Amino acid sequence: MKQHRMRLIEQNQPAPGIMRMIFKAPDLARNSRPGQFVQIRVTDTFDPLLRRPFSIHRTHSNGTIEILYRIVGRGTRLMSRTRPGVRLDGMGPLGNPFQTEGNFSTALVVAGGMGSAPAFMLIDTLLKTGKSIHFFWGVRCDDEFFHLEWLRSSGVELHLACERGDTGHQGLITDILEPMMNRYPDSKGFVCGPKPMLEKMQRMIRTFPIPWEVSLEEKMACGVGVCMGCAVRVGQKIQMVCSDGPVFDLREVDFGS
């Protein structure tokens, strides 16, 4: 059974404009891997109709899972008003996870904006493998950073960029990543974030021969590969972001521009 009655434990804002929900959902927490997602039904009625997909932000051994979201429409507005104790229907874990095993010594984790949602679970998992982790995190405004102290104390090398603010580089995260990339030949890259950033990353890594995995975001209806709504061209084939991804080889994704 992959459908869960997830009990909301807590809802808070780790940073302005970013909402975090913490659910008790032991099966889901135990079985989720970084990069996978959960399809949440935001209401018991049929309007808004469709589930919303959310990357799994973190899981904990006490059977809780966290998701992050921004309030962007009717569905997320309803979610933001959900009170602790309420149970939401979640399908998951869905999709294919990042491959964190392998013969690389350094992980380059690159996140832009809400790409931080899957990045944290990825970092949690990588920390257990003993690999060294460089986290390149770019946001619009520097008040969107959170958990920086925890990241530093965990031994993660932080590289920050914001378009507005005083924390880290003033500009795009790709600005600081590009000149640094060749320092880590024995590494593997993981990237999640907005499409323009992913396209830029794809151009940047042409001359940097390490494997790069990307987690794509797309609007979805079913989340399990039946409606064929979230198509993307990867390599020569049409793939579904929900069931063939959301993690793909960054070099193979056709961003259609």
Partner 1 sequence: MAVDLQVRLGSLVLKNPVLTASGTFGYGVEYAGYFDVSRLGGIVTKTITLEPREGNPMPRTAETFAGMLNSIGLANVGADCFIKEKLLPLEPLDTAVMVNIAGSSPDEYEKVALKVAAHERVDALEVNISCPNVNKGGLAFGTDPEITREVVRRVRETTVKPLIVKLTPNVTDITAIAQAAVEGGADALSLINTVLGMAVDIETRRPLLARHVGGLSGPAIKPIALAKLYQTVRAVSVPLIGIGGIMTWQDALEFIIVGATAVQAGTLHFVDPCGAVKIIEGIKTYCDEKGIGDLSSIRGSMEDGGA
Binding site for partner 1 (CB under 8 A): 1-3, 41, 46-51, 89, 91, 218-232, 238, 243, 256
Task: Note the Cα 221 to chain centre separation in Å.
Answer: 19
* Nearest distance, CB of residue 74 and partner 1, angstroms: 9
Nearest to 44 by CA among 17, 5, 98: 5
Q: Is there a cis peptide before residue 246, judged by omega within 30 degrees of 0?
A: yes
The span from the CA of 242 to the CA of 94, in Å, is 7
To partner 1, the closest distance from the beta carbon of 25 in angstroms equals: 16
Please report, to the nearest 10 degrees, the dihedral formed by the alpha carbons of residues 90, 59, 61, 8 taken in order: -50
d(CA 4, CA 24) in angstroms, rounded, equals 10
Query: Distance (Å, rounded) from C-alpha 27 to C-alpha 30?
Result: 5
Closer by beta carbon to partner 1, 86 or else 231: 231
47 versus 149: smaller Cβ distance to partner 1: 47
Compute the least distance from the CB of residue 231 to partner 1, in Å: 6
Residue 199 or residue 218: which is nearer to partner 1 going by CB?
Answer: 218
**Which residue, 180 or 228, is less far from partner 1 as judged by CB?**
228
Dist. CA 246–CA 5, nearest whole Å:
23
Shortest approach of partner 1 to residue 167 CB, angstroms? 30
- Rounded CA gap, 212 and 173, in Å? 16
Q: How far is the CB of 227 from partner 1 (least distance, A)?
A: 6
Nearest approach, Cβ of residue 105 and partner 1 (Å): 37
C-beta of 52 vs 57, nearer to partner 1:
52
Instruction: Give how far Cα 140 sits from Cα of 20, 160, 168, 255, Å.
Output: 18, 11, 12, 22
For residues 48 and 211, which CB has a smaller minimum distance to partner 1 in the complex?
48
Q: 68 CB contacts (<8 Å, ≥6 apart)? A: 14, 18, 19, 20, 54, 55, 57, 114, 116, 117
